[in-house]
Structure 1
Amino acid sequence: MSTLVRGPRGREVGLLVARRLVFAVPVLVVVAVGVFLLAAASPFDPIYQYYGVDVFTATAEDIAATRARLGLDDSVLTQLGRWLAGVASGDLGVSRSFRLPVGQVIAERLPWTLLLVSVALVVAVVLALVAGVLAAWRHGGLFDRVVTGIGHAMEGIPPFVLALVAIAVFSLGLGWLPVAGLTDAGAPATFDQVARHLVLPALVLGVSQTPWLILHVRGSLLGALGQDHVAGARARGLTESTVVLRHALPTALLPFVTLMGTRIPELVTGAVLVETVFSWPGIAEAVVTAALAVDFPMLAALSVLATAAVLVGSLAADVAVVLADPRVVADG
């Protein structure tokens, strides 16, 4: 029986992944082209960001030679074509703002962003499931009213505000955690150092995503508790904890998984803001620096990377739902 079930579902998942991959290619190309066109419309001249204050002492000949070497005088379509040709051969180009290969910049910074986002995601999921389940379980009680009120109040608070409040309370006020950075000044990147500096930004990023998740878990579980199979479980004399955790919660988790996929763009945006506030050496600083320098290759690569993260997150959520619920049809 299990073989008969897994075979068709495996084919459905494979077709779903294939369709999404085919769809992802033109989306990523459109994003890259859009970034190039928007950067070309910027009033800032990249040469000033490239030289910095040295632009005021550089000769006109040096500036002209640099512009020619970087291809700044080429049309945006020429620059875009050159970048796409490089991507096709595995070369993301050279960042004008960092003066390093784009691939090297991303490789050095992406692991720290993935670490921050992964820990924050775990924090958000754990808080949402615990608080949401308890609020629905004690529907109408004090805990439910407090959690619901806080959740609605925090929905409109952006992550950077939470970050500033957290720094003021836990770093400047209580002195429990470091303010910013990956390690203390001059200290090596040991596990203890990174862990201490990770706590505050990960908590802030995780908590910033929690209100929607808690309210969604609470609402889904309340709906599941009113379904017939849950009423049947109660009629059989099962304990309330068994009814909630084994019969109602699995039903409520399916839409929660889908919601996690839709929250990926917010998580990416929140990570950029949190990294900037806490000076976390991830992708965020590269995004800001590249934007200020009108760094075409870096901006395009980072935008494509962020778009790919959103597409992968959405795909992972859909695949999880298809595998968890045999009633769902993987229509792509």
Structure 2
Amino acid sequence: MVRFILKKIKDTIITILILSFGVFMISHLAPGDPLVSVYGDGAERLSTEARIKAVKDLGLDKPLIYQYTIWIKNSVKGDLGYSYKYKMPVKDVIQTHFPNTLCLMGLSIFFTLILSIGLGLITALNEGKLLDRIITKSSTLLYCIPGFWISLMLILIFSVNLRIFPSSGVYDIGKENNILNRMHHLILPLTVMIIGHLGYYSNFVRNKMLEELKEDYIMIARAKGLSKFEIISKHPLKKIMPSIIILMSLSLSHLIAGGFVVEYIFSYPGVGKLVFESAKYHDYPLLMGGVILTGVIVVLGSLISDILSSLIDPRLKEEGMN
């Protein structure tokens, strides 16, 4: 197990380094003026001498490889740089936004997992029946609808027309300590996140469960007179859990990408909104910080899932060592 974990950690570090290098190069080579992030509209009025000095002060006059090397050295020490737009350390900017993203992502993953298992079991128990066909086809339809379209429809219906839920922000002004107010702002973004992924996972659980129900030990259990619900609630669910965990970890990047879009549409002050803003204004340090943080979460999530899955099913550990 120690060798297995060390191998996964080594792969994780390599993946993060490749990700950081790719994002750094692409962001710096993309067209745009990073001085707009620092000076706003005043960047266009800078003289040639002032522009040269500003670029030099930001360290953007050095070769990209040199800039990346400096960034890596500082990042290892915990220094992610200074945000051009927010005029403060990137670490501090992310710390104020990350809890919001963590709350949204954590709740969406939790409810998606619970609801998908529930719907998967219901459809498996009612295979071929009307309820099974309704849930399965509805789930597939919802999964195919783009998240941004669902977001706009929910805003139009529940925020603009009915005025039941807020369309932006994480809390009302002056109510940052009001948990109920925060939950009220979370309902629409969380609903979009769940709807966008529930169908895929519930159908996956259903199909895996139906496959498991064809095994010989299930036939023996049925011969003993056990009901279908008793059979499913004991052995099959436990056996398919590693597959569900692996699928969730492999889809973590998709979940986070969808969450970033939701944050931007609902003006939800999370890391996703920061990444969009930093890319728009060419705030390189903040963009690197946000993207690398996201990449680390995805890779670490995959690492943890591999370890948990190997503990549940030792065969997966042997495959991972090959």
Which TM class, normalised by the smaller chain length? Answer: over 0.9
1:59, distance to aligned residue in structure 2 (A): 4.2
User: Identity of paired residues, percent?
Assistant: 28
| Preserved contact between residue 166 and residue 184 of structure 2 (Cα < 8 Å) | yes
1:139, distance to aligned residue in structure 2 (A): 0.4
The residue aligned with 2:257 is: 269
Give TM-score scaled by structure 2 length.
0.93
The residue aligned with 1:284 is: 272
- Size of the alignment, in residue pairs? 320
Could you report, residue by residue, the CA deviation over 1:77-102 in whole angstroms, capped at 9, with x for unpaired residues? 22212211211322111112222111
The residue aligned with 2:124 is: 136
1:57, distance to aligned residue in structure 2 (A): 4.2
The residue aligned with 1:23 is: 11
User: Counterparts of 1:96 and 1:319 in 2: how far apart (Å)?
Assistant: 39
- Is residue 67 from structure 1 mapped to residue 55 from structure 2 by the alignment? yes
- Given candidates 109, 117, 140, the residue that maps to 1:152 is 140
The residue aligned with 1:217 is: 205
Q: 1:58/1:329 Cα in 2 relative to 1: closer, same or farther (>3 Å)?
A: closer
The residue aligned with 1:94 is: 82
> Which amino acid in structure 1 is aligned with residue 187 of structure 2?
V
Could you report, residue by residue, the CA deviation over 1:15-37 in whole angstroms, capped at 9, with x for unpaired residues? 32221111122221111111121
> Which amino acid in structure 1 is aligned with residue 155 of structure 2?
I
The residue aligned with 2:22 is: 34
Q: Secondary structure at the match of 2:5?
A: helix
1:264, distance to aligned residue in structure 2 (A): 0.2
| Preserved contact between residue 9 and residue 303 of structure 2 (Cα < 8 Å) | no
* CA RMSD of superposed structures (Å): 1.7
Show the 5 A alignment for 1:1-332: 12=1, 14-332=2-320
The residue aligned with 1:4 is: none
User: Counterparts of 2:193 and 2:307 in 1: how far apart (Å)?
Assistant: 25
User: Counterparts of 2:265 and 2:218 in 1: how far apart (Å)?
Assistant: 46
| Preserved contact between residue 129 and residue 217 of structure 1 (Cα < 8 Å) | yes
Could you report, residue by residue, the CA deviation over 1:143-191 in whole angstroms, capped at 9, with x for unpaired residues? 1101111122223222212211222222223332211111124443421
User: Counterparts of 1:329 and 1:26 in 2: how far apart (Å)?
Assistant: 20
> Which amino acid in structure 1 is aligned with residue 94 of structure 2?
I
> Which amino acid in structure 2 is aligned with residue 70 of structure 1?
L
Q: Secondary structure at the match of 2:171?
A: coil
| Deviation larger for 150-159 or 38-47 | 150-159
Q: Secondary structure at the match of 1:155?
A: helix
The residue aligned with 1:9 is: none
Unaligned 5+ segments in structure 1 are: 1-11
Could you report, residue by residue, the CA deviation over 1:259-294 in whole angstroms, capped at 9, with x for unpaired residues? 111110101101100100111110012101211222
1:319, distance to aligned residue in structure 2 (A): 1.9
User: Counterparts of 1:327 and 1:89 in 2: how far apart (Å)?
Assistant: 38
User: Counterparts of 2:236 and 2:190 in 1: how far apart (Å)?
Assistant: 30
> Which amino acid in structure 2 is aligned with residue 130 of structure 1?
G
1:254, distance to aligned residue in structure 2 (A): 2.6
Q: Secondary structure at the match of 2:91?
A: helix
User: Counterparts of 2:103 and 2:41 in 1: how far apart (Å)?
Assistant: 35
User: Counterparts of 2:10 and 2:138 in 1: how far apart (Å)?
Assistant: 42
Give TM-score scaled by structure 1 length.
0.91
> Which amino acid in structure 2 is aligned with residue 53 of structure 1?
D
